Amino acid sequence: MAITCCFIKEQYFIDNAHFVKMLDSGNTIKQCHRTHLCIQVSSNGNTFYIPLRNNLGPDVRKFGRIGHSVPANGRPKAGIDYRYALIVNDASYIEIPTVQRIPNSQYQKLLTDISAIETEFNQYLTGFIKAARKNRIDREALFRESSLVNFLSELGVTGD
C-alpha cells in the first residue's frame, strides 16, 4: 500500500467555500498549504484526504479515536486527524509535491502504520455514517466536529 502526501489546491476550497467544520475555515492560503495524506478508501468510489496536523494532541480521547499520532522532531503532538478528512474525487484539485514535504521520520511512521491507519479510519467512517443515518452527529462528541458532514450524499447518507 502506497502513501501519497499531497496538497489540495486552493481552488477546491474556493469552489467549496460553503463547507462547514473545516480546518482553517475561510483561510484558503493556509488550507492549500496543509499536507494531506491520500488514502484511497472504497466507500461509494470516494477518495479521502486526511490532514496532517502539527498539534493533534492525544489521538484517542475519552469519546473515541480522532486520529493517528505521527510525531516528528519539534512536533511531538503531530498526527493525522480523521475528523477533518475531505473527499476529493476530482484529481485536478490535487497537487503532488515533487519533493517530500514532511520529515522522513513522519513518512516512515506513516509507512509502518498504514494498515492500522486504514483500519482506524474505516472504523471512524463507519461510525460517522451510522451516526448520520440516525441523525446523531451533533449528539456524538466523536463526530460533532467532523468535516464529513459536507459529504453526506457522497457517503450515501440521505438527508432529511
Residues 6+ apart with CB under 8 A from 83: 66, 67, 124, 143, 145, 146, 147, 148
- Read off the pLDDT of residues 68-90 as tens digits, 9 standing for 90 and up: 999 988 889 999 999 999 999 99
pTM of structure: 0.89
- Read off the pLDDT of residues 3-49 as tens digits, 9 standing for 90 and up: 778 889 989 999 999 999 988 888 888 888 887 877 666 567 888 99
Exposure string of 42-55, with b = 16+ CB inside 10 Å and e = fewer, is ebeebbbbbbbbee
Backbone angles phi, psi at 51, to 5 degrees: -75, 145
3-state secondary structure of 49: strand
